[in-house]
Chains A and B, each alone.
Chain A
Amino acid sequence: MTDVTRLHAHEMAGLLRSGEVSSHELTEAHLAAAERDNRALNAWLTIDRERALAEADAADARLAAARTDHAHALDRLRPLLGIPVALKDLVSMAGGQCTAGSRILAGYVSPYDAHITERLRAAGAVILGKTNMDEFAMGSSTEHSAYGPTVNPWALDRVPGGSSGGSAAAVAAYHAPLSIGTDTGGSIRQPAALCGVVGMKPTYGRVSRYGIVAFASSLDQIGPFGRDARDAAALLHAIAGRDDRDSTSSPEPVPATLTALPADDDEAARSLRGKRLGLPREYFVAGMEPGVEARVREAVAALEAAGATVEEVSLPHTAYGLATYYIVAPAEASANLARYDGIRFGPRLGDGDVLANYLATRGQGFGAEVKRRIMLGTYALSAGYYDAYYLKAQKVRTLIKGDFDVLWAQGFDALVAPTSPTVAFRLGTRLADPVAMYLSDACTLPVNMAGLPGVSVPCGLSDGLPVGLQLIGAAWSEAALFGLARGYEAITADAPWRALEPAALASAADAKVPTPAERMAEVAVGAAI
């Protein structure tokens, strides 16, 4: 039998139902791959073998019971039953660690499950472990993890993107067919693009954030990674919906079509006909790599050839997105991260008075990027500066959101844009310049500012590295976006690049390749990390 880790989740589901493979076997294969490669990739912070296999056995029992039950029992099983899933290490899982990539949560054990953890358990998914991330989801490269960087399965000297770099790399490296990330300014879509997988940031409010470590509460959203649109859509379906423990989660119905994207390529391709797509000219920014622009424009041409109409449009306030984001997000972060004070949980450093403990715990517990953002946010919210920064940014945010609203009112089905202006960059190259790092998200963060859904799908390679195509839709249009993504997959199903596996994966199992921490030590001399 072929390597089951290469299958899509919907293919695994078929084999589980037919009994050709058990969840135990699936889980074991993925655990083995993750354990084998993690020395070279550092995509995982924990791999919970025992728990995962126990969950797999439980799923196998449910499958067996359904098989002996009446004829429709198998059809009624949830799509994710027995399917391995990875969680970003800021999702609470009772009894498990939840570091958020930070020293300040070292040793912390979640006392309860996040809402999405409950949902995944209810769906029968097998949680393999927790993936690496930029500390508190602040970063675009996963280099800002207190537990060492993750590297890209396509090139081990390059970043996987971030902040959900571990989740993206794990799916790209066939350690799991599905994973969970969070996206505050591009933290799902950008690593999805850099690792060559599908990743969606849903509409703000689509998924409950109860039990998720908060970064910027008006922007954070949880979303899925998968290796194709159908898988990612099914995972979103499993976690989406109202939860009264997160008052920002919406009662908006979760469309069942998320689990019913066309399996047939012709049908999927036909769905592109007549779709009206906008191409925002401001997203083809200066500094965009020619290879990235070429792949994106080829993808646009392919969509047009399949019957979609593409018109150039303008989002005139795009240029203000970065500055606006880097006021709003740090301001909210500085408030959210005030809770990490060493009083109720986490390490408590210092042995003096309360103030000395705060200073020591937070000064030594947070990494450089987190401190930078707390400082920015504290400054922006401090007396006398609130109106100049935070209020001003919120007003500009209105303008940014308005840019999108104009296009939806004109009847566009979606916008097509690059996800990241560059392919995966080399480890260490943007650490010394925070602004250069922040520019990685120039094409994704306006979508967060406007609260919209966006999905990144692979659209080819540039210099052997993946390029992502971003599809942006109106609020609550995730199913339509996945439909477009599925259509694009269908019309490029035969493209040669789709058959390629991540180039560096073969060497990941080699015990002689440097670990990410060793690579980082080489490149980070003098860099501010």
Chain B
Amino acid sequence: MEEDLGVGETRRDGRAAAPRRADDEPAEGTIVVLEHPGGLRVREAPVEVRAILAGDHAVEGRDRLEVRRRERTNARIGGLAIEPGRLQHPVPRLDLEAESLVQRPANLGGDENEGPASGRLRGLEGGLRQGQPDPAPPPRRLHPDRTDPGGRAADRHQARPDHGAVGVGDERARLRVARGEVEIGPTVAPVLAQERGDDLVDVGGRHGSDPWEPHRPIVADASAIIGRMATLSRAEVEHVAHLARLGLTDVELGRLEVELNHILDQYAILAELPTDDIPPTAQTIELENILREDVVRPSLSVEAVLANAPARDGDFIVVPAILDKR
């Protein structure tokens, strides 16, 4: 069987790389190595995500992770041509989401072969349990028939009757498997792990309904997000509503979950367009450096401006205190 890679292995050189050691990492528990085909730049990636997608990018930093582009990949959005030798880990894209949203007991982590990274960085189950990876996996034709040749996603769930607290994505993942939507992603080899004092590997997503809980987006390649991963859970809908400072009723939240997912489905069409080399268009007319004369002009009177204030005290707008009055 073709083997999955362990954590942190980047096999651009075609050799089987040893699992990345904790010692190699510049900061304790912070390295995230991403491979991704879409030129994704990760911003403010959550520290909890310890995704390792094989090695064209290194992501560093604790709270603000930055992608360092080492080399362009030949992978394309939408998952077409992948150069031989570049394809390290033909895991269904689904897995990134599925795994990343699953909270697992840490003791289900790796096996002895994992080396020093064991227990620190945890790969997908396959990668961790199948011994050494194949040093030169063949290029794989990508989802021509929308199947999951390895059956990994389904296997994984079946093989894991015991896995612990289940995050919001898990049920979606199962549904997608059941619907036959699992596809082979181009080069995504996500390995999610973290080291913390606690027992759970928390790899992103939201697990509670507390809107104040920081959101931990699942960092994946852009095409995967826009293609097949665009599914919002109820908890994510609640979180987005909080970000937007919209107080929504339960009925509204339920309706939005359905409607937003329906709309996001329409976005999937964009994943088929390769745009790596296309510059973005933010404005359509060629205007630059528009400056006006630096002259004094009358401004609105205080009275005119404050006339619309919902609460007023003299020349001030009254607002609720945001700091303690002490």
Contact = CB atoms under 8 A, between A and B. Distances in A.
Interface in A50-80: none
A489 B305 CA distance: 47
Contact of A362 (B215, B247, B256, B320): B247
Contacts of B281: 394-395, 397-398, 401
Interface string B7-20: 00000000000000
Contacts of B45: 383-384
Given A344-B308, A382-B243, A385-B217, A372 B267 contact: no
B319 A343 contact: yes
B219 A398 contact: no
Contact of B309 (A247, A345, A368, A394): A345
Contact of A388 (B225, B244, B262): B225
A360 to B, nearest CB: 5
B290 to A, nearest CB: 4
A362 B241 CA distance: 10
A342 interface: yes
A44 B232 CA distance: 39
A111 B304 contact: yes
A374 interface: yes
A322 B310 contact: no
Given A205-B287, A320-B273, A401-B281, A372 B232 contact: no
A203 B284 CA distance: 9
B203 to A, nearest CB: 13
Contacts of B284: 204, 218, 401, 449-452, 475
Contacts, number: 201
B255 interface: yes
Interface stretch (B36-44, B111-119, B126-134, B186-194): B36-44
Interface stretch (A128-136, A348-356, A417-425, A477-485): A348-356
Secondary structure at chain B's binding surface: helix, strand, loop or mixed?
A: loop
Interface residues of B, number: 67
A394 B102 CA distance: 33
A387 interface: yes
Sort chain A's interface into a size bin. 35 or more
Contacts of B269: 319-320, 323
B278 interface: yes
Q: SS class of chain A's interface: helix, strand, loop or mixed?
A: helix
Interface in A369-423: 371-372, 374-376, 378-379, 382-389, 391-399, 401
B59 to A, nearest CB: 12
Contacts of A347: 310
A372 B256 contact: yes
Contact of B262 (A111, A396, A435): A435
Contacts of A372: 256, 259-260, 263
Given A248-B283, A398-B281, A379 B232 contact: yes
Contacts of B248: 363, 371
B246 A396 contact: no
A236 B294 CA distance: 29
A384 B246 contact: no
B58 to A, nearest CB: 17
Contacts of B236: 379
A383 B44 contact: yes
Contacts of B241: 375
Contacts of B296: none
A288 B86 CA distance: 45
27 contacts: A111-B304, A205-B285, A248-B287, A323-B266, A338-B245, A344-B308, A347-B310, A368-B252, A374-B246, A375-B241, A376-B260, A379-B236, A382-B215, A383-B43, A384-B218, A384-B219, A384-B225, A386-B43, A387-B39, A387-B222, A395-B279, A396-B275, A397-B281, A398-B279, A399-B275, A401-B284, A435-B263
Top 6 nearest A-B pairs (CB, nearest first) are: A451-B284, A363-B247, A359-B247, A384-B217, A394-B280, A345-B308
Interface of A: 108-109, 111-112, 203-205, 218, 244-245, 247-248, 250, 317, 319-320, 322-324, 326-327, 334, 338, 341-348, 352-355, 357-360, 362-364, 366, 368, 371-372, 374-376, 378-379, 382-389, 391-399, 401, 434-435, 438, 449-452, 475, 528
